[in-house]
Chain A
Amino acid sequence: MAMQKELMKSLAKKPVTLRYPFEKLTPPNGFRGKLEWDSEKCVGCGVCVRICPAFALEMVGKGLTAELRYYLSRCAFCAQCVESCPRDALKTTDQYELASYEHVIVEFKRK
């Protein structure tokens, strides 16, 4: 009968479950979600492509006109590319609801 006291306390409390998707938690600052690319800072050096452990980034073109192809289904959200970029052109957002039925490939384009 050791748990009875806890059970009685729960009768008075509101259930602790979050009724997703009607109630959502916002991730904390620094959460590693989907990537975001700032095209004005990128110089096309390719460090992010070489360092990614999941081979999720691919450079399209060369140099200052290069664009980025981001294989979202391969990404491991480790943020190593964010750390390695010498110009801080990549950032993580707090988007985590990324499930989909097909492989998603995000094409980051220059304006």
Chain B
Amino acid sequence: MSAEPKTAYEIPVGPQHPALKEPILLMFKVDGDTIVDVWPRIYTHRGIEKATESRNYIQNIYLCERVCGICSFIHTLIYSQGVEQLLGVEAPPRARYIRVIIAELERLHSHTLWVGVAAHELGFDTLFYYVWRDREVIMDLLELISGNRVNYAMNSVGGVRRDISPETADKIRKGMKIVKERMDVYADVLLKERTIRKRVVDVGKLSPHRAVDLCAAGPTLRMTGVKRDVRADDPYQAYDEIPFNVITYSTCDVLAQVLVRVGEVYESISIINYALDHMPSGPIRVKVPMAVPPNETVSRGEAPRGELFYYVKSNGTDKPERVKIRTPTHANIPAVCEMLIGYHIADIPIIFAGIDPCMSCTARCAFIDVDKNKKWIWNHEKLRRYGIKWYGKV
């Protein structure tokens, strides 16, 4: 925390604010129009990790799916991958390719959602409506493949539950062509529209050195030029057989984030087309036992927002001992707090939206007081009492 400026004004953004899609408190200290300091408080807690301990491994797939609505598939994928690692089985090749296709379709839908939300945060509602109109193509494809537009429930421990028929594959290819054409139009608008450029160029800068120090993940890290992507560094599923590029830009501002995500959209389209053309035939799942022998494993993958990390520990029964989820937005919060300092109040929505925040994925924080060398965690009762005291003061 920096020294107190002469006139410090406190502005709370959140927990309920039109700029935020999900609740988080960001307490800003501003001096005039310039942000001097940011203090985040993440307080939402749904108890999902505790709930996994009283459900068996099959039921937990659907529980982990509902950690986040936008990146639901990657949660089930990394969880199933973890349980498969515990059991020592591998999903058949066709299942691995289908998993890659659905994961990339999800990345497409997440990045196009982000472009719309970023445009909305800039006040550019027109681009928001247009991008979300064309995102419906991807949602309809996902509904065709899996039976639902969100929460696809495609994964099972040992493979996938539904196959992709040749007719569906044709529809996917047609859809990818449409998405590519429309993305060309929107990339053109994003790069050439002067009012957008004025708002995102040289805004929210983060040096590569600080980004690595603060453990930033995903496009937030790649926009500084650091080439880190779990799909390339530690390939899982079928990513070691499919060629693709890791997109990085070196300007380190919000425009770089936009360009990284637009580049990833094009890469996803080419990965899906390659996977559809080279999909091996065979079974789509293997049968696995219900009880898992005692073991512990770590499974990680590249969610649309960054590196997703699952730690699963089994104890011989059909219910896990512990499931720990570390989501990418949780890792990006310290980075965004650093990115916000020194910019205008008007830049708050776009810098915060730049990391693609998904608070439903973020875990509650633990308090650490470095000066007094204390560490503590609050339970629900303490949190409630503190809330009543705080609101009584304000």
- Do A and B come from the same complex? yes
SS class of chain A's interface: helix, strand, loop or mixed?
loop
Report yes or no: A31 in contact with B130, Cβ–Cβ below 8 A: no
Residues of B within 8 A of A2 (CB): 188-189, 192-193
Count of interface residues, chain B, beta-carbon cutoff 8 Å? 28
A85 to B56, CA, bound (A): 17
Decide yes or no whether B161 CB sits under 8 A from chain A: yes
What is the distance, in angstroms, from A29's C-beta to the closest C-beta of chain B?
8
CB distance from B133 to the nearest CB of A (A): 6
B153 — which chain A residues lie within 8 A by C-beta? Answer: 32, 78-80
Number of CB contacts from chain A to chain B under 8 A = 56
**Which chain B residue has the least Cβ–Cβ distance from A30?**
B147
Interface string of B138-153 (1 = CB under 8 A from A): 0010011001100101
CB of B143 within 8 A of CB of A6, answer no
Given contacts A2-B193, A31-B143, contact A77 B126 (CB under 8 A): no
Say yes or no for B266: interface residue by CB 8 A criterion: no
Interface size of A in residues (CB-CB distance below 8 Å): 22
Q: Which residues of B contact A83 (CB under 8 A)?
A: 161
Point out residues on A near B: beta carbons under 8 Å: 1-3, 6-7, 16, 27-28, 30-32, 51-54, 76-80, 83, 92
Given contacts A30-B147, A53-B59, A83-B161, 10 further A-B contacts (CB under 8 A): A3-B126, A3-B127, A16-B133, A28-B144, A30-B162, A31-B148, A32-B153, A51-B59, A53-B58, A53-B63
Can you list 26 residue pairs at the A/B interface with Cβ under 8 Å? A1-B193, A2-B188, A2-B189, A2-B193, A3-B127, A3-B130, A6-B185, A16-B133, A27-B143, A28-B140, A28-B144, A30-B147, A30-B162, A32-B148, A51-B56, A51-B58, A51-B59, A53-B60, A53-B61, A78-B65, A79-B147, A80-B58, A80-B62, A80-B153, A83-B161, A92-B147
